[in-house]
Amino acid sequence: MLSDDNSAPQFAPPARPRAAESRFQRVKVSILGRYMLADRREFPCQVLEMSPGDAVVIAPVPGIDGERVIAYLDHLGRIEGSILKQVDGGFLMDIAASPRKRDKMAAQLTWLANKDLLNLPEDRRHERVVPDIRHSSVVLDDGRRYNCKIIDISLSGAAIELDVRPAMGTPITIGRMRARVVRHFQNGVAVEFASTQEMLNVVQQNLRMN
């Protein structure tokens, strides 16, 4: 059985078995969870690579090709699909999801892949979630406006995909929220709100594009 730690077994990542899945780009992650096979047996697991379309799962019991799998993963919740092929130490599964759920999963995976870069003090105090509506706009103090996509939010800040990189400490307005830039990462910036909020649904409403 897998122990509930973050050590990753050595394995060779499999090639994608179907051309249709090539539109999804896997990212390296370390996500713990549990999975259930078709006979309803449950086991612990660890996901080492994942995209919105498939996942490499390290598992004590690999199941058989085509078998239905339901998994509950930290940060991501429930996913379901079927086993595509066995790999050393586990299996590769596809993920059945609606386009909206895939979009949300892509944002969650982006955050998980970049979480070390976004590990700000306020991230540890407040849970970060992916908002339902992710498109917004950023306005700089000189009036320049840029469209952005929200990766995740917390009561004290947000991570956003943005084509420009305002300098650290730059004050901005995102939606109706005043904030300042506190970190750069590959596809955007992390911002800290001018004041900590009390409810995530209020944060989400105020971040919507004006």
Residue ranges of E strands in 88-144: 90-94, 135-140
72 to each of 80, 134, 161, 168, 175, how far by Cα in Å? 9, 24, 27, 37, 33
When mean pLDDT is compared across 24-33, 37-46, 116-125, the lowest value belongs to: 116-125
Among the candidates 71, 98, 125, a domain finishes at 98
Question: Between 2 and 150, where is the model more confident?
Answer: 150
Confidence of residue 210 (pLDDT cuts 50, 70, 90): low
pLDDT given at position 121: 44
pLDDT given at position 165: 87
Each residue of 51-84: pLDDT tens digit? 999 999 999 898 999 999 999 888 788 999 999 9
Question: Between 32 and 115, where is the model more confident?
Answer: 32
Residue with tokens 């498939």: 54
Q: Rounded distance, CA 203 to CA 132, Å?
A: 12
Please choose, from the candidates 153, 103, 156, 100, the residue with its C-alpha nearest in 3D space to the C-alpha of residue 131.
153
Q: Which helix (H) or strand (E) holds 122?
A: helix 121-125
Same domain, yes or no: 119 and 94: no
Each residue of 31-42: pLDDT tens digit? 888 899 999 898
In a domain, 14, yes or no: no
Question: Between 20 and 88, where is the model more confident?
Answer: 88
Same domain, yes or no: 93 and 139: no
3-class DSSP assignment, residue 136: strand
In a domain, 66, yes or no: yes
3-class DSSP assignment, residue 206: helix
Residue 152 and residue 160 in contact, taking contact as beta carbons nearer than 8 Å: no
Same domain, yes or no: 93 and 120: no
Question: Between 192 and 113, where is the model more confident?
Answer: 192
Question: Between 124 and 138, where is the model more confident?
Answer: 138
Pull the structure tokens for residue 31: 């996500």
Question: Exposed, middle or buried, 175 (CB in 10 Å: 0-12/13-18/19+)?
Answer: buried
Residue 177 and residue 100 in contact, taking contact as beta carbons nearer than 8 Å: no
96 to each of 32, 102, 114, how far by Cα in Å? 19, 9, 24
Confidence of residue 208 (pLDDT cuts 50, 70, 90): confident
Q: Rounded distance, CA 56 to CA 50, Å?
A: 6
Each residue of 152-167: pLDDT tens digit? 888 888 889 998 988 8
Same domain, yes or no: 156 and 194: yes
CATH number for 195 = 2.40.10.220
Question: Between 181 and 115, where is the model more confident?
Answer: 181
pTM greater than the 0.85 cutoff: no
In a domain, 11, yes or no: no
Q: Which domain holds residue 78?
A: 19-98
